[in-house]
Structure 1
Amino acid sequence: MEDIIVKSTVESFEEDVLKSNVPAAVLFYTEGCPVCDSFIPIFERTAQKYSKHMKFVKIYRQQNRQLGESLKVKSSPTVLFYKDGKEVCTRLNGYISNPELLQP
């Protein structure tokens, strides 16, 4: 799983996400968060299934507060979608189900 999902930080976000040559799904999460704990397996399964078409990135929110604040991430979990260096699609946060994550 480690090689399918990139663990990014404020220092590597630009390279990992903004300069990605494929669309990216970016998960901001918090350890010990029950909602995050229930969503992370969904994110991981989705990454296994679609990693050939999309990059999957996890960012630990507490260690990257500045990045989260600059992107206006206010809760965990939050999933952002990027393509060509720009945020696209609707953000997902809170209790996120598998069907929500897979919606176009």
Structure 2
Amino acid sequence: MSNFSEIISKNKLVLVDFYAEWCGPCKTMHPILKEVKDALGDEISVIKINIDKNQSLTEKYRVKGVPTFMLYKNGVQVWRQSGIVQKNELIMLIKSHN
């Protein structure tokens, strides 16, 4: 994930999802994130990071539990939360940073 810094530095909002294949709540969030992306289209990019395959990135960003979500705007983290987040809450949050 060498281009992670480049991706989060884009002008548009970037939602990062740190997840694991074995994580039940992560599986619950998968269709929710798809619905959020479908609802917002080009307003946001959604990036999924598998913590088991990207341990250095997981450590760098101090991800202790999954799912952990981070929202970036112009390379700056504007929001972070762990656990399940409802679709409408995510959409409102993203729109508030647009």
* TM-score when normalising by structure 1: 0.80
Gapped regions of structure 2 (runs ≥ 5): 94-98
Q: Percent identity?
A: 30
Alignment partner, residue 82 of structure 2: 93
Gapped regions of structure 1 (runs ≥ 5): 1-8
**RMSD between superposed Cα atoms in Å:** 1.4
Q: Secondary structure at the match of 2:65?
A: coil
Alignment partner, residue 96 of structure 2: none
Alignment partner, residue 6 of structure 1: none
Residue 89 of structure 2 aligns with an amino acid whose one-letter code is E
Alignment partner, residue 26 of structure 1: 16
User: Segments of 4+ in structure 1 off by > 4 A?
Assistant: none
Q: Report which of the two has the higher share of helix.
A: 2
Residue 34 of structure 2 aligns with an amino acid whose one-letter code is E
Alignment partner, residue 42 of structure 2: 52
Q: How many residues align?
A: 93
Residues 1-104 of structure 1: pairs in structure 2 closer than 5 A = 9=1, 11-18=2-9, 20-89=10-79, 91-104=80-93
